[in-house]
Amino acid sequence: MWNCLAWPKTCHELNPIMKPSSLLQLPLRYKPWHGRHLRLVLQDIAGTARQPEHDHRTHLRGAIDWLCRAQDIRNSQSDAGGVAAGWSFEDGWLPGYPETTGYIIETFIAAAKHLDRPELIERSRKMIDWELSLQTADGAFPGHFGEAGSHPVIFNQGQIMHGLVAGYTSLNRQDCLEAGVRAGHWLVAQQDADGCYRKYEHNGVPHVYNTRAIWALAAIGVVANEAGFLAAARRNLDWALTQQTPSGWFATNAFVPGRHPFTHTIAYAIRGFLEVAVLLGEARYLDAAEIAARGLMEKQRSDGWLAGTYGDGWSPTASYACVTGVAQMALCWLRLAQITGDKSYRDAAGRAIAYVKRTQRLEENDDIVRGAIPGSAPIWGAYSRFEFPNWAAKFFSDALIMDMANVAVPPIPAAAKGLAR
């Protein structure tokens, strides 16, 4: 996982509540004198989330077009087909990122239909081809950017598997199913007896947010009829349940031990719980997702804002928004609305989507900025500081599609046991 994992220097700066005056103390590697950088900072000093709101389709086109540019920037490189991890003040366009390219596949397949853009299917195929080229003989995928010597990471493995599920179920690619089963066997082999993952983990510590990786394992288990995968999924979620406090908050869910989790990883954990609940028909996992999702919903501001980090009891511990996490929570609330029929979830999702819309600059002439979603608002917030990560645009796109069409992204495999869908 990268999502602030590969580069802790940008995402894990220790001060979670940074005032504009503190910008003067940031390292020079952020190049604040650069014209584009200075313009973005000054815009957020003047006020965050102030961009015009348009209809869903307009915002969706902007995000998808930006993701296409993030893929095209890797053309002629060894990682051609992959989607650049994003763009940052420090490094410009980043290398292709296997983890997030994996789950962008399902986004492009969905957007191809809802935007009537069949060329996005071909882009998805190129992403799949790149991912398959990276898989090792034992079924693992490399972590980080897939460079030589990069070790597998449990979370990353699962996100790539999401793309393989999409390749098989939506594009009828048998090679995706075969690769997904190999990847699943590797994932099961790394699991401890209590269901927890302690090997091939970022920072060498367990993480509850691996439930989102286990969602992919369960999906492969359902479509490939691999009972061992489903048993492993239950073991992991049963372990994750032991980390949930009475308020619904999850311990052991931050990137770094001893810190409060980003809204980003909280949403990862919730989505994993609710989707595995649907796949396996396990109401107790849905209950865990609902308790957490309601806890955050009660803290959501009327303008859709959520804090970047939360402590137990849903105490906000940051003054910036993790915009990525706001988009992800919109997805969680939309799925819960679809599953339970509770309108309050859809209302919360609508507020969250509106907030993210107001962080997307659609009227820029700058191809790097236009349509991108920042990691944080203001852009110097501690999550993906001074970056436009590709997964922020991915999750925002998914939320727009799900809200427009009232569908699940990705779709639920037909063989799933249900609860409501």
Measured at the CA of 201, the angle between CA 222 and CA 388, to 5 degrees, comes to 90
The residue count of the chain comes to: 421
- Tell me the β-bridge partners of 262: 309
Query: Burial level of 419, CB count in 10 A (0-12/13-18/19+)?
Result: middle
Predicted confidence at residue 415, as pLDDT, reads 81
Predicted confidence at residue 420, as pLDDT, reads 62
Look up residue 150 and give its amino acid.
Answer: S
User: Which pLDDT tens digit goes with each residue over 121-144?
Assistant: 999 999 999 999 999 999 999 999
- In whole angstroms, give the CA distance from residue 280 to residue 95: 36
Predicted confidence at residue 419, as pLDDT, reads 73
Query: Burial level of 359, CB count in 10 A (0-12/13-18/19+)?
Result: buried
Show the low-confidence residues of the chain (pLDDT under 50): 2-17
Residue pair 104/123 in contact by the 8 Å Cβ criterion? no
Radius of gyration over alpha carbons of the chain, in Å? 19
Q: What is the DSSP string of 304-334?
A: S---SBEETTTEE--SSEEHHHHHHHHHHHH
- Tell me the β-bridge partners of 96: 84
Predicted confidence at residue 272, as pLDDT, reads 98
Going along the chain from its start, the domains and CATH numbers come out as 30-405 (1.50.10.10)
- In whole angstroms, give the CA distance from residue 87 to residue 145: 14
Predicted confidence at residue 102, as pLDDT, reads 98
DSSP tag of 201? -
Residue 218's alpha-carbon distances to 1, 338, 416, in angstroms, are: 19, 20, 9
